[in-house]
Structure 1
Amino acid sequence: MRLDKKFTLLIPPLVWLGWFVLPSSPPFWVIVKHWPISLTMAFGSFIAGATSESGGAVAFPVFTKMLAIPATQAKLFSLATQSVGMGAALLTILLLRIRVEWRAVFWVVCGSITMLWPGFKLAELLPASMVRMLFTVIQSSFALALWWHNRDSERDRHEGLPAFGGLEKLTLLGFGMLGGLISGLLGSGLEIIVFSVLVLWFRLCEKAATPTVIVMMVLTSWAAFAMIYCSGRFVPPVSDYWLAAVPIVVMGAPLGVYVCSRMSRTAVVKTLLGLILLELLSSLLLIPLTPDLALTSIGLFLGFSCVYYSMYRSKRYIDHPSALS
């Protein structure tokens, strides 16, 4: 085993040490007290490392639908926890020398960080049911786009960005801003928006896009956590939930990164589609749909789907030398 791979094994113990000595935290009792949080994030952090979904994509629906935790608290928890779990995934990516499209990371993160705070403020104006359905709509439209993309086995897929000029920079910046707004509203979303652009518009291979999106979400989550802490919002019960999740996610996310590096592209896609199908079914069963909410959800779903379909149909980056054989 290479030395850099051995260093990945040190990530969880080092984080556990810091977690254990945190002031005024009863280390093991907090996990016992909030065991549903820890159990949820054991699965969520693994998914965050193995796919383009963040841990919040699992935490948010489970918290709001099964554990009856308010959407605002679920969002703050998701962002705070991702800063640790996906931070560990970032270290794993760097140590394992997994390829990342750093040019895309720069422009997306420049856009996402600027829109986090507007997303926080917008969340205060929307009813909880609308926030929960918006999460489902974004996930479902993404699943449809991913299904379109993978129906064609002959479709060009690139190992890196096929071009990088002014249009590409503006595209990444703009969708980064949209993803940052949605992440500020829901606690996740940047990863789905940008992953869609990378695989549908730029025709990046899913396995190449996944680590790139993880890095984007890590940097955005760090900025979001700083905003949450400095604004005085990181208080119980959110901070207690976070303490219960930290020692779990720091294992799950790096493990997910390692498994993803060994998975086939098709396996990654099927995992994503299965998770999103479960999310859609749970929303239809558990969220009361008023006529206004249903019409708004359908309209947003059609809007996102049209954008994704137009990217899917684009031939701008076909027949580029970087296409995978």
Structure 2
Amino acid sequence: MRLNKKLTLLIPPLAWFAWYFLPDSPPFWAIAKHWPISLTMAFGSFVAGATSEAGGAVAFPVFTKILAIPAMQAKLFSLATQSVGMGSALLTILLLRIRVEWRAVFWVVVGSVPMLWLGFQIAEQLPASAVRMVFTVIQSSFALALWWHNRDPDRDRHDSLPAFGGPEKLTLLGFGMLGGLISGLLGSGLEIIVFSVLVLWFRLCEKAATPTVIVMMVLTSWSAFAMIYWSDRFVPPVTEYWLAAIPIVVMGAPLGVYVCSRMSRVAVVYTLLGLIGLELLSSLILIPLTPQLGLAAIALFLGFSCVYYSMYRSKRYLDRPPALS
């Protein structure tokens, strides 16, 4: 294990070496030209590694609300950057032998990947303000669900999936499809949807759910990046933003994974709640709300909240021993 910890230190230098020889190299000009991007992802990549939030959960609101970058470009950047940053986080998880629920990973990814393209197509038909508000609503309903889940410190929590039969596979597949659709729409979202299912429905401990969700995000982001590249969507200025972020995220995400492995469950939870609270506040201040958009946001929030609350109230997996299959 000690050797593996040392090997994790090689991840950033090896990534930097590969980054240097990318097309249009050396790309140091990208960092100088787009330093706000690099600065944003220094924080975003750490958050992605330490919590169940993807780096896009930080990048998307900062890009669209503060840096005035179009929502479509912010989404493409988020998916492309997550494929690199979370890839380094995945290597860290494997080297440190952090436990992952691989059974859940398989069924979620099988559901999410085919839905990404549909999310891309829907996003092109929606106004930017609607896309940004959907992002905020999903984040806020998740925060409410997480608060419900942690009101009771004695609530039963499992270290692994309490059962794994046909119903569990279908549940993971279905929510993986929903998460893939939202990720294609916003650039992130799979992690929030699946994390909610794992901790609320299956009563999986947050520290066990976080690395599992990270692996799901990596595999989905790789698929999304391939779709973006082969559909000729990966063009400037998104490529320039991506070059500016790579050397930062390959260091921030592994650091976040390591810190998360040392954090308490409660610390992980309150970190998430604080970040989502800031995102909600910024949306209320910066996004112009029309009556139609406001009503749609309220309806969507209530819909997600009702689903989360029903999962929270369920006793299906209460005090059940982990499945061996």
Same fold (TM over 0.5): yes
2:237 is aligned with 1:244: no
Give 2:55's aligned residue. 55
Q: Distance in 2 between matches of 1:177 and 1:239?
A: 28
2:127 matched residue in structure 1: 127
Aligned residue type for 2:104:
A
Q: Counterpart amino acid of 1:268?
A: V
Partner of 2:159: 159
Q: For residues 268-313 of structure 1, give each alpha carbon's deviation from its aligned partner in whole angstroms, at most 9, with x where no partner exists.
A: 0000000000000000000000000000000000000000000000
Matches within 5 A, 1:156-195: 156-195=156-195
1:190 aligned partner, one-letter code: L
Q: What is the CA distance between 1:23 and its match in structure 2? A: 2.0
Does the residue aligned with 1:195 lie in a helix, a strand or coil?
A: helix
Residue 150 (structure 1) aligns with:
150
What corresponds to 1:220 in structure 2? 220
Q: What TM-score comes out, normalization by structure 2 length?
A: 0.98
1:140 corresponding residue in structure 2:
140
Aligned length, in residue pairs: 323
Distance 1:249 1:20 in 2: 15
Supply the distance in 2 between the matched residues of 1:39 and 1:113 (Cα, whole angstroms). Answer: 30
Is structure 2 residue 275 aligned with structure 1 residue 265? no
Q: Is the 8 A contact 2:163 2:322 kept in 1?
A: no
How many Å separate the matches in 2 of 1:71 and 1:169? Answer: 33
Aligned residue in 2 for 1:90: 90
Q: Is contact 2:146-2:269 (8 Å) kept?
A: yes
Matching residue of 1:207: 207
> What is the distance in 1 between the residues matched to 2:21 and 2:248?
16
* Alpha-carbon distance in structure 1 between the residues aligned to 2:191 and 2:155: 22
Structural mapping, 1:79-118, within 5 Å: 79-118=79-118
- CA distance in 2 between counterparts of 1:81 and 1:218 reads 10
The reply on whether 1:71 has 2:101 as its aligned counterpart is: no
Letter in 2 for 1:208: A
Amino acid of the structure 2 residue aligned with 1:139: Q
- TM-superposed CA distance for 1:322, in Å, is 4.4
Overall identity of the aligned pairs, in %: 85
1:197 and 1:127 map into 2 onto residues whose CA distance is 29
Q: Distance in 2 between matches of 1:22 and 1:129?
A: 34
Structure-1 residue corresponding to 2:16: 16
Aligned to 1:291: 291
How many Å separate the matches in 2 of 1:132 and 1:27?
30
Deviation at 1:46, TM superposition (A): 0.0
Alignment deviations for residues 214-258 of structure 1 (CA, whole Å, 9 cap, x no partner): 000000000000000000010100000000000000000000000
- State the alpha-carbon separation in 2 of the partners of residues 108 and 316 from structure 1: 20
Q: Which residue matches 1:31? A: 31
Deviation track 1:124-173 (CA, whole Å, cap 9, x = no partner) reads: 01110000000000000000000000001111100000000000000000
What is the RMSD computed on CA atoms of the aligned residues? Answer: 0.9
Quick one: structure 1 residues 243 and 89, their matched pair in 2 at CA, closer, same or farther if it must change by over 3 Å? same
Q: Matched residues in 1 for 2:114 and 2:162: separation?
A: 27
> In 2, Cα distance between the equivalents of 1:23 and 1:109?
30
**Structure 2 stretches of 5 or more lacking a match?**
none
Q: Which residue of 2 aligns with 1:41?
A: 41
Structure 1 unmatched runs, 5+: none
Q: Which whole-Å CA distance do the structure 2 matches of 1:23 and 1:152 have between them?
A: 53
TM-score (norm 1): 0.98
Amino acid at match of 1:135: F
